[in-house]
Each structure stands twice: as C-alpha cells, then as structure tokens.
Structure 1
C-alpha cells in the first residue's frame, strides 16, 4: 500500500509539468511517512483565483480567493455537500465503470483521503512576494493541504506552530528551501 496522487489542471496561467508533479509526489511520500499514513489517495486540482474564490465562498462563507483549500473525506458528514465538478464527475464515472469491468477495487491507491485545491494564480503571486520559487510555494501549499486532510489545523498559536514546523521539515527534506 502507498499514498497516491491524482491531479487535474483547470487553470491556464502555468503549465503543470512532469517535474512539478514528481516533486509533489515526493512531498506526499515524505509527509505520509512522517505522519505514518500508509495508504490513501489525494486528489489535487490546480485552479485560478476565480474558481477558488467561488469554492471559498460556497464552502467556507468567505467571499474572496484563497491560496489552498482542503476537503478531507474523513470530515464528510451526512449534512455536508460533496464538491462536484461536472466535467470531472463524468470522467470519474467512466473510470469507475472501467475499473468495475476490470474487477479493480481501487485497492492499490487506498481510500480517498480528500481533495486539495490550489490557486496557481495566488501561488505565483505569493512566490514573488516571499522571494522563492513557484515550485516551493506550490509544494508548501500542497503539504499544508495534506496536513489538513489528515486532521491538522492552525486555529491556535500552538497548533499553527506545530503544523508549520512539520511543513518546513518536509519541504527541507525535499530540497525546497526559501
């Protein structure tokens, strides 16, 4: 078993290349190992500010764009609304049908851990503000989102300190320094 990454690009500002995806897979493996997460699937979607603004407004009641959103599968309750991308749903249904026909029970990727949505537009702006690479900023946002998926939060100063220390440690191990 392992933790796997499924991703989708729904923005046009930046081309998402193989090297970035390889780095995100490395970060996912490092973060999963550090947190003793042995199996699961993380779904990552790259979007623009307009798309993440709408999601932030709809799901968090905050009427502005943000850099990253996380939707943990373990937090889903009966009264919560599942994120639904119309065009993604059709692709996923086709994939599920093909897997059912092949007898695949998705056991190689494990159960879904959740979805991470990253605004590439915001990541580019923040990388310029902080003076580091876009790859580092997207990596930071990805690890931040992953930690949220597995239960970390930063509502208090102590929680924030713990979470951000974990993020920095993982980024350093992957060679993504400021």
Structure 2
C-alpha cells in the first residue's frame, strides 16, 4: 500500500495538466511523510465557485463559495454502517487503501487568490491541497497557535516541492 491521490475535474476554467497532478502527488507524499501517514487514499475534485458554494450551503450552512473544503472519512457519524466484505473460502481480504477523505478545490477562487497574493496558480492549488490534507488529518486553525502550526507545516511541504512565494 501507499499514499495515493485520485482526482476528478468538474470545471472548465483550467486545463488540469499532468505536470500539476505530478506536483500535487509530490505534495501528498511529502505531507504524508511529515505526518507519518504512509498509506491511504485522498480524493481530490476541482470544481467551480458555484459548485463549492452549493456544498458549503448543504454541508456547512455557509451561503458563499470558499477556496477549499475537506471531508475527512474518520469523522463518521455514530450510526454509520460498517462496510462488510463477503469473502469466499480461500479468498484473501481485499487490499483496499483506507480512504482518508475528500478535498474539493474551487479553481476559480484559487485563480483569484493567486493573482491577489502575487504567486502562481500552481502554488495556490498546492497550498490549498496541502491545507485540505492537513484538515483530513485533524488539523484546524481555530486559534492563532493552531493556525501558525498549520501554516508552518504547509510552507515546509510547499518549499520541498519548489512552490515558494
């Protein structure tokens, strides 16, 4: 097993290049190494402002678009059913990666933010991806100390893949 990313594109603002995907996979590996996460799967979806606005409204009660959303699989509901696999005699249990969660990025918002901050769109997408990944692992930024911790971890990973400001 290894740490893996599966991705989908539900927007037409940006052509998602193989180079960008390779960079995001490198970010995932570096962030995983830094956090001691070596196995699992992260689902990444690129969307529009309109789509992320709908998700915010539905799942968070926030009536506006944001740049990134993370939905961690380990934050399940108490009554969530357990997945049971039927295994025949002599069959091995399926070797499926643990699903860590979903990261959804608004490409439109990322584009505006990259222009506002004066850095590349690739860097902004990388920042949002590692930010979302850290949220999947339970990090948050509700106060100054936790925000500083997250920002520090994000900047280290981005520097390791060459996405500095």
Report the TM-score, using the length of structure 2 for normalisation: 0.90
Are 1:117 and 2:95 counterparts? no
Which residue of structure 1 aligns with residue 136 of structure 2? Answer: 149
Shift of 1:79: 6.0
* Deviation, structure 1 residue 106: 4.3
| Structure 2 equivalent of residue 177 of structure 1 | 164
Counterpart position of 1:96? none
RMSD: 1.4
How many aligned positions are there?
154
* Length-normalised TM-score, structure 1: 0.84
Residue deviations 1:116-160 (CA, integer Å, cap 9, x gap): 000000000000000000000000000000000001000111000
Quote the Cα distance in structure 1 between the aligned partners of 2:160 and 2:113. 22
Q: Distance in 2 between matches of 1:26 and 1:55?
A: 27
- Higher gyration radius (CA): 2
Q: Which runs of 5+ in 2 are unaligned?
A: 81-91
C-alpha distance after superposition, 1:27-66 (max 9, x if no partner): 0000000000010000000000000000011111110000
What pairs with 1:47-86 in structure 2 (closer than 5 Å)? 47-78=47-78
**Unpaired segments ≥5 residues, structure 1:** 81-102
Higher helix content, 1 or 2 = 1
